[in-house]
Chains A and B, each alone.
Chain A
Amino acid sequence: MISLYRIGAVTFRHLMTMKRLSWFIEIGYWTILDIIIFGSLGKATTMMNMSADPAIIQALVTNAVFWYLVLRTSISIGFTLLTELFDMNLIAIFATPLRILEWITSSVIVGGIAGLINFALGWLLALIVFGCNIWSLGLTTLALMGSLLISGWTMGLILMCVLLFVGKKGTGLAFAICWSLVPFSCVYYPIEVFPLFLQKFVLWIPMAHAFTALRSAIMTGTNPWDHIVTSLWLNVGYFAVACVLFAVMFKRSKKRGLARLELEW
């Protein structure tokens, strides 16, 4: 039987580690940096080419904010496992009645909360620095937030699978895995930039559909529901696969001994 009390306890334990000024500085630093870089890039483009659409600034800044929702969610999920490994606590928590499903649920909640905090910070920054209001897109913003949140959860679970295989040694991988899809997710450029063979591959990435939809909504003012629906379907499918993969990996890792994950460095 799944216990909400246990899920709440594990969630609370991880939320407490986020209640530090250094955590807010860390997420704020990277978000500020990217928003300023890409907002300025958009501004430079409109200054260099008078015929360039000024909406490009809003498209770049909005996409950067949404990208941080995916990135922070996935990294935070991975860090729930890494925190247990560095605190030598993984064996201890599984000596309690905590079930694997409860643990995953709490990690997903923690990842979601961290992602939404980062998103809120990005929204404020975009509004203050470049005057871009993400919520001006209305329902599209909400739908894409939901879709990209699932993308973050999926990437986080895949990251956890890798960490369950390599243990503490995979700390560097936490960021590498999450960033690996940026070049192919159409965050800062359209799908047409890719060569044809790569476009076929990119169409299978749900984030590419979500960011294409976002860019299209800002630049043309239309609601590209076909891209949003495709991204949602792909996300749900991949999330289900990631859950199964995680269950299999955890079982295999448990057979080999969870203690090795805490000791090897």
Chain B
Amino acid sequence: MRLHRIGGLVLMHSEEFIDKAEMLEVLYWWICDMIFLGFLGKTFGALTNNSLFGQDLRTGASHIAKDLIQRYKAI
């Protein structure tokens, strides 16, 4: 096993990444994904509004509490 042979192959393949077209391709997908995921996040952030979710939980919890009190009183 020769380190310089491993190094030679690594260098050969890493030179592909230094290629301008290769860099542009990586940059392109990154920008595309950032825009896409940004808008997707905005949409689903609004759809799964945390305050609304919390409000639903609180409303549900208070209904259950009221129901329990009424049942307790009935006993």
Residues of A near any B CB (own CB < 8 A): 41, 44-45, 48-52, 56, 169, 172, 176, 179-180, 182-183, 188-190, 193-194
Give the segment of B1-9, B24-32, B62-70 that binds chain A.
B24-32
Contacts of B32 in A (CB 8 A): 176, 179-180, 182-183
Minimum C-beta distance from A58 to chain B (A) = 15
Which residue among B32, B36, B47 has the maximum number of chain A CB atoms within 10 Å of its CB?
A: B47
Contact present for B42 and A193 (CB under 8 Å): yes
Q: Please, what's the 1-or-0 string for B38-60, where 1 marks a CB less than 8 Å from any CB in chain A?
A: 01101110011100110010000
Contact A45 B44, CB 8 Å, known A51-B52, A51-B56, A176-B29:
yes
Contact present for A189 and B42 (CB under 8 Å): yes
Contact present for A188 and B40 (CB under 8 Å): yes
B35 at the A/B interface (Cβ < 8 Å)?
yes
Contact of A189 (CB < 8 Å), options: B21, B28, B43: B43
Minimum C-beta distance from B36 to chain A (A) = 4
Contacts of B53 in A (CB 8 A): 48-50
Minimum C-beta distance from B30 to chain A (A) = 12
Contact present for A189 and B40 (CB under 8 Å): yes
Contacts of B48 in A (CB 8 A): 44-45, 48-49, 52
Minimum C-beta distance from A143 to chain B (A) = 25
Contacts of A183 in B (CB 8 A): 32, 35-36, 39
In the complex formed, the residue of B with least CB distance to A56 is B47
Contacts of A48 in B (CB 8 A): 48, 53
Contact present for A41 and B44 (CB under 8 Å): yes
Contacts of A189 in B (CB 8 A): 39-40, 42-43
Contacts of B43 in A (CB 8 A): 188-190, 193
